[in-house]
């Protein structure tokens, strides 16, 4: 497993080198040109102890994910980063990500250091434009999950998204249409969709060779190469679109 401090140093340096560092983040966003709903999420990094079965190593970099409750109207039961819809009162998408993380997990924004941002992700099914941000705290927060939103708090080792063995593909049924889905597996969880794509952004900053994860290549409907993390084939289509 890569050294923890090395991973964090590499990520922070990569964000700066890519022009994704912590500058001009706390500004009001422009409307999405395609009318998508603005939203934000937080990749929150912290040192944590691995489970005993994996070596009980202190200080290993982790990030937090949540399993959403089945009562939520959108993306219920799915694995996600803390985040949600932009509110004009937030003033910026960064503040949306911090507010949502505090509401969902009880994390005080004042305890976090903002490292930067990632590229915008589009969620086709819900017509969202999702802005991911990256933050760090030197100790694992005492998460206080909101019962109405969070069914489970998941500590994901950062190094795991660099391991090709945890990237899998399956054929899933979406409202009667079979689609091949690429996801990260963590214990019993399947991390897919926009969350997986955001994690893939982090992975490729840490290891640029992972950017060529492969996409659908077959002209006759077959899978010619591995799908990139978070991808589906055939592509999802927003309900009501042509």
Give 164-217 pLDDT, tens digit per residue.
999 999 999 887 889 999 999 999 999 999 999 999 999 999 999 988 755 444
The total domain count for the chain is: 1
Answer whether residue 242 is part of any domain: no
Adjacent-strand bridge partners of 154:
65
Answer whether residue 33 is part of any domain: yes
Number of helices (H), then strands (E), in the chain: 3, 12
Query: What confidence category does residue 3 fall into, taking pLDDT thresholds of 50, 70 and 90?
Result: low
pLDDT the model gives residue 175: 79
Give the CATH number, domain containing residue 41. Answer: 3.90.79.10
Residue 212 phi, psi dihedral angles, 5° rounding: -95, 60
- For residue 172, what are the contacts with CB-CB under 8 A and spacing of at least 6? 178, 179, 180, 181, 232
Answer whether residue 26 is part of any domain: yes
Between CA 149 and CA 218 the distance in angstroms is 40
Answer whether residue 238 is part of any domain: no
* Environment class of 207 (CB within 10 Å of its CB; exposed 0-12, middle 13-18, buried 19+): middle
Answer whether residue 241 is part of any domain: no
Between CA 119 and CA 128 the distance in angstroms is 14
Between CA 54 and CA 75 the distance in angstroms is 30
Contact 66, 79 (CB under 8 A): yes
Pick from 26-40, 55-69, 121-135, 187-201: least confident? 55-69
Question: What pTM value is reported for the model?
Answer: 0.89
Answer whether residue 53 is part of any domain: yes
Give 119-178 pLDDT, tens digit per residue.
999 988 789 999 999 999 999 999 999 998 999 999 999 999 999 999 999 999 887 889
pLDDT the model gives residue 201: 97
What's the domain range around 87? 4-233
Answer whether residue 157 is part of any domain: yes
In this prediction, residues 23-37 reach a mean pLDDT of 96
* Environment class of 27 (CB within 10 Å of its CB; exposed 0-12, middle 13-18, buried 19+): exposed
Query: What confidence category does residue 73 fall into, taking pLDDT thresholds of 50, 70 and 90?
Result: low
Answer whether residue 164 is part of any domain: yes
Contact 69, 77 (CB under 8 A): yes
Between CA 226 and CA 213 the distance in angstroms is 7
- For residue 164, what are the contacts with CB-CB under 8 A and spacing of at least 6? none
């Amino acid at each position: 497993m890569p050294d923890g401090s090395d991973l964090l140093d590499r990520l922070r340096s990569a964000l700066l080198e890519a022009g994704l560092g912590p500058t001009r983040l706390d500004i009001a966003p422009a409307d999405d040109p395609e009318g998508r709903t603005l939203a934000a999420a937080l990749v929150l990094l912290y040192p944590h102890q691995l489970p005993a079965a994996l070596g009980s190593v202190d200080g290993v970099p982790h990030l937090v994910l949540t399993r959403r409750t089945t009562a939520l109207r959108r993306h219920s039961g799915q694995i996600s980063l803390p985040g949600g819809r932009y509110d004009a009162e937030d003033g910026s998408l960064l503040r949306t990500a911090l507010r949502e993380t505090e509401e969902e997990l009880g994390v005080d924004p004042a305890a976090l250091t903002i490292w930067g941002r990632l590229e915008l992700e589009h969620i086709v099914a819900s017509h969202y434009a999702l802005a991911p941000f990256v933050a760090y705290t030197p100790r694992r927060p005492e998460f206080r999950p909101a019962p109405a939103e969070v069914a489970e708090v998941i500590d994901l080792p950062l190094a795991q998204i660099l391991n090709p063995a945890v990237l899998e593909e399956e054929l899933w049924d979406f409202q009667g249409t079979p689609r091949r889905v690429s996801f990260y597996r963590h214990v019993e969880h399947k991390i897919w969709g926009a969350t997986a794509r955001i994690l893939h952004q982090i992975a490729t900053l840490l290891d640029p060779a992972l950017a060529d994860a492969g996409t659908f290549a077959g002209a006759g409907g077959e899978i010619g190469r591995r799908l990139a993390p978070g991808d589906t084939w055939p592509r999802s289509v927003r309900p009501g679109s042509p």
